[in-house]
Structure 1
Amino acid sequence: MASQSTGKQSANLGLTERLQLEVERAVQRGLKSMEMLGASTPSVGRTPKTVLHRRGTLELVHYRPVVDEVYRVPLLVVMAPTNKGYILDLAPGQSLVGFLLERGYDVYLIDWNAPTDDERDLKIDDYVLDFIPDCIRRVQQDSGEHDVTLLGYCAGGMLSAIYQSLHVDGPVKNLVCMTTPVDFSKMELFRSLADEQSFDVDRFVDGVGVVPADFVLAGFDVLRPASRIAGQVRLWDNLWNDQFVKGYRMMERWGNETLPLPGGYFRQTTRELLQKNALYESTLRIGGRLVDLGKITVPLLHIVAQYDHIVPPECARPLVERVGSLDKEEVVLPGGHVSIAAGANAVKRMWPKLDSWLEGRSI
Structure 2
Amino acid sequence: MASQPTDRKSANPALAERLQLEVERAVQRGLKGMELLGVNQPAVGRTPKTTLHRRGTLELVHYHASVDEVYRVPILVVMAPTNKGYILDLAPGQSLIEFLLGSGYDVYLIDWNEPTDDERDLKIEDYVLDFIPDCIRRVQQDSGEHDVTLLGYCAGGMLSVIHQSLHVDGPVKNLVCMTTPIDFSKMELFRSLSDERSFDVDRFVDGVGVVPADFVLAGFDALRPASRIAGQIRLWDNLWNDRFVKGYRMMERWGNETLPLPGGYFRQTTKELLQKNALYEGTLRIGGRLVELGKITVPLLHIVAQYDHIVPPACARPLVERAGSPDKEEVVLPGGHVSIAAGANAIKRMWPKLNSWLEERSI
Question: TM-score range with shorter-chain normalisation?
Answer: over 0.9
User: Per-residue deviation at 1:14?
Assistant: 1.6
TM-score, normalised to structure 2, is: 0.97
User: Per-residue deviation at 1:184?
Assistant: 0.2
The separation in 1 between residues aligned to 2:131 and 2:142, in whole angstroms, is 16
Mapping 1:311-350, distance limit 5 Å = 311-350=311-350
User: Per-residue deviation at 1:17?
Assistant: 1.4
Aligned-partner SS, 1:337: coil
Correspondence for 1:161: 161
Contact 2:9-2:16 at 8 Å conserved across structures: no
Correspondence for 1:185: 185
Q: Deviations over 1:140-191 (max 9, x none)?
A: 0000000000000000000000000000000000000000000000000000
Aligned-partner SS, 2:12: helix
The separation in 1 between residues aligned to 2:37 and 2:198, in whole angstroms, is 41
Aligned-partner SS, 2:37: helix
CA spacing shift, 1:145–1:11, aligned 2, 3 Å: farther
User: Per-residue deviation at 1:39?
Assistant: 4.8
Q: Is it true that 1:354 corresponds to 2:339 in the alignment?
A: no
The separation in 1 between residues aligned to 2:71 and 2:191, in whole angstroms, is 42
Correspondence for 2:285: 285
Aligned-partner SS, 2:244: helix
The separation in 2 between residues aligned to 1:200 and 1:335, in whole angstroms, is 35
CA spacing shift, 1:173–1:120, aligned 2, 3 Å: same
The separation in 2 between residues aligned to 1:35 and 1:113, in whole angstroms, is 28
Correspondence for 1:65: 65
The separation in 2 between residues aligned to 1:259 and 1:139, in whole angstroms, is 25
Correspondence for 1:4: none
Letter in 2 for 1:156: G
User: Per-residue deviation at 1:35?
Assistant: 1.9
CA spacing shift, 1:11–1:144, aligned 2, 3 Å: farther
* Aligned length in residues: 356
CA spacing shift, 1:10–1:293, aligned 2, 3 Å: farther
Correspondence for 2:96: 96
* Structure 1 vs Structure 2 CA RMSD: 1.1
Q: Deviations over 1:105-127 (max 9, x none)?
A: 00000000000000000000110
Q: Is it true that 1:52 corresponds to 2:58 in the alignment?
A: no
User: Per-residue deviation at 1:13?
Assistant: 2.0
Aligned-partner SS, 1:174: strand
Correspondence for 2:109: 109
The separation in 1 between residues aligned to 2:243 and 2:178, in whole angstroms, is 26
TM-score, normalised to structure 1, is: 0.97
Correspondence for 1:242: 242
Identity percentage of aligned residues:
89
Tell me, which stretches of 5 or more residues in structure 2 are unaligned? 1-7
Correspondence for 1:21: 21
The separation in 2 between residues aligned to 1:133 and 1:222, in whole angstroms, is 34
Correspondence for 1:143: 143
The separation in 2 between residues aligned to 1:94 and 1:64, in whole angstroms, is 17
Q: Deviations over 1:270-314 (max 9, x none)?
A: 000000000000000000000000000000000000110000010
Q: Is it true that 1:204 corresponds to 2:204 in the alignment?
A: yes
The separation in 2 between residues aligned to 1:108 and 1:76, in whole angstroms, is 5
The separation in 1 between residues aligned to 2:114 and 2:37, in whole angstroms, is 27
The separation in 1 between residues aligned to 2:11 and 2:332, in whole angstroms, is 45
Mapping 1:223-238, distance limit 5 Å = 223-238=223-238
Tell me, which stretches of 5 or more residues in structure 1 are unaligned? 1-7
The separation in 2 between residues aligned to 1:348 and 1:39, in whole angstroms, is 33
Letter in 2 for 1:234: R
The separation in 2 between residues aligned to 1:307 and 1:141, in whole angstroms, is 39
User: Per-residue deviation at 1:207?
Assistant: 0.3
The separation in 1 between residues aligned to 2:164 and 2:279, in whole angstroms, is 14
Aligned-partner SS, 1:38: coil
User: Per-residue deviation at 1:32?
Assistant: 1.0
User: Per-residue deviation at 1:31?
Assistant: 1.2
Correspondence for 2:251: 251
User: Per-residue deviation at 1:34?
Assistant: 1.1
Contact 2:307-2:336 at 8 Å conserved across structures: yes
